[in-house]
Amino acid sequence: MTSQRLNKLTPYMFMAPAAIIMAVALLYPLGYMIYGSFRDWNPSQTIGESEFVGFKNYITLFYDPAFRESLSVTLTFAFAVVTAELVIGVGLALLLDRNIRGMSVLRTLFILPMMIAPVVVGLMWRYMYHPTVGTFNRWLKSWGFEGVDWLGQHALLSVIIADIWQWTPFIFILSLAALQSLPRSALEAARIDGATAWQQIWYIKLPLMMPVLIVTALLRLIDAFKVLEVILVMTEGGPGLSTEIVALRISRTATEFRELGTAAAMSNYLLILLLVLTLAMFAITRLQEARAARLARQIQEEG
């Protein structure tokens, strides 16, 4: 009996070290953040000395126009960059999915922007956008156009362009890997049936790549919600609050306003938002899979 029970326990004991590490490394900080978000806590105090305020931080934030504005900036930014990066990245992958000489060199070149430290990317773009000495305005002026006030009048667009430049390669490289691992038989069958290149892309390649694309998009979306350094260096959130994404607001709330409790509550809002998005994405994938399975069954039954 005892040995039987021990046998049953064995797998859990093997799992225990991993579970403990996970609890300490993941759940403890998370719990700390949630606990902190219910307190009026400034960085000169230990968390024990701070005062419990219930949901006050969450309620204040909910009605805070600045927080709402930065939430809407974040949503605009995240969806804009992910959509643009998906279109460009997948497009590039479709174009380059063939045997070109020197492909490995090209691939390395394409992913270079991803390897650059975000602070450097921010600085580089900030100088390229500079109103007088920046590359873009010098080009524009040498072609006889008016200079554009990139980081003033069009700050959000400028930040979006910089992010697309840096992160499109990520989507490109994953899409290319997905394309190259597609079953060749399906494509050959389509070709024999006389499908055009566009038809192959729309009806075969893209649907088969979909699971990879959804995960890729999700990863990028989560990342885009948390991007901080590039925007911090380029615009510091300005002008006004036009590029102040939530991650930047959290950092300012903690360091400039010295309100750790509010910053923690903001992080939790962001966490909840990301959780909802992730769950929604997975739900969509599940639904699609179920539909595909049903279709497959129907075809089999009819056949």
Partner 1 sequence: MLKSLKRASVGAVSAIALTTAAVAGPYDEYEGQTLIVNFPAHPHFDAVMKILPEFTKQTGIEVEVDQLPYLKMRERQTLELAQDEGEYDLIAYVVFSKADYVYADQLENLAKYFMNPKLADPSYDADDLIDGYVYNIGFAGGNKGYLEGKTGSLFGIPYGSETSILGYRTDIFEKHGLEVPETYEEMLEIACKIPELEPGMGGLSSRAASGHHASHAFLLHLAPLGGRVFDDQWNPIVNNEAGVQAANALKTIVDCGPEGAASFGFGEALGSFLNGDTAMFLDTTVVAGQINDPSKSQVVGKVGWAMHPMGVRRGSQTGGFGIGIPANAENKEAAFLLMQWLTSKEGDKLVAMAGGNPSRFSTHADAEVNEKFPHMATFGEALQHADPDWRPIIPVWGKINADLGTTLSKVLTEDLDIQEALDGVAERTQAVMEEAGYYTWQ
Binding site for partner 1 (CB under 8 A): 42-46, 66, 130-132, 147, 149, 151-153, 155, 235-241, 244, 252, 255-259
- Quick one: tokens of 195? 């499908």
**Nearest-approach distance from CB 115 to partner 1, in angstroms:** 25
Q: By C-beta, is 207 or 239 nearer to partner 1?
A: 239
Distance in angstroms (rounded) separating the CA atoms of residues 199 and 215? 24
Q: By C-beta, is 14 or 55 nearer to partner 1?
A: 55
Q: By C-beta, is 56 or 226 nearer to partner 1?
A: 56
The closest of 187, 192, 176, 182 to 100, measured between CA atoms, is 176
Give the DSSP H/E element, type plus range, for residue 52: strand 51-52
**Nearest-approach distance from CB 163 to partner 1, in angstroms:** 18
Q: How many residues does the chain have?
A: 303
**Nearest-approach distance from CB 43 to partner 1, in angstroms:** 5
**Nearest-approach distance from CB 62 to partner 1, in angstroms:** 15
Residue type present at position 230: V
Q: Is there a contact between 166 and 113 (Cβ–Cβ < 8 Å)?
A: yes
Q: By C-beta, is 213 or 234 nearer to partner 1?
A: 234
Largest CA-CA distance found in the chain, in angstroms, rounded: 89
The separation between CA 280 and the C-alpha centre of its own chain, rounded to angstroms, equals 15
Q: By C-beta, is 66 or 284 nearer to partner 1?
A: 66
**Nearest-approach distance from CB 125 to partner 1, in angstroms:** 13
- Quick one: tokens of 229? 């350094």
Q: Is there a contact between 295 and 78 (Cβ–Cβ < 8 Å)?
A: no
Distance in angstroms (rounded) separating the CA atoms of residues 281 and 216? 11
**Nearest-approach distance from CB 179 to partner 1, in angstroms:** 41
**Nearest-approach distance from CB 254 to partner 1, in angstroms:** 9
Which residues, listed in sequence order, are joined to residue 40 by a DSSP beta bridge? 51
Q: By C-beta, is 173 or 246 nearer to partner 1?
A: 246
Q: How far apart are the first and last CA of the chain?
A: 54
Distance in angstroms (rounded) separating the CA atoms of residues 268 and 265? 5
Distance in angstroms (rounded) separating the CA atoms of residues 247 and 224? 10
Q: By C-beta, is 45 or 200 nearer to partner 1?
A: 45
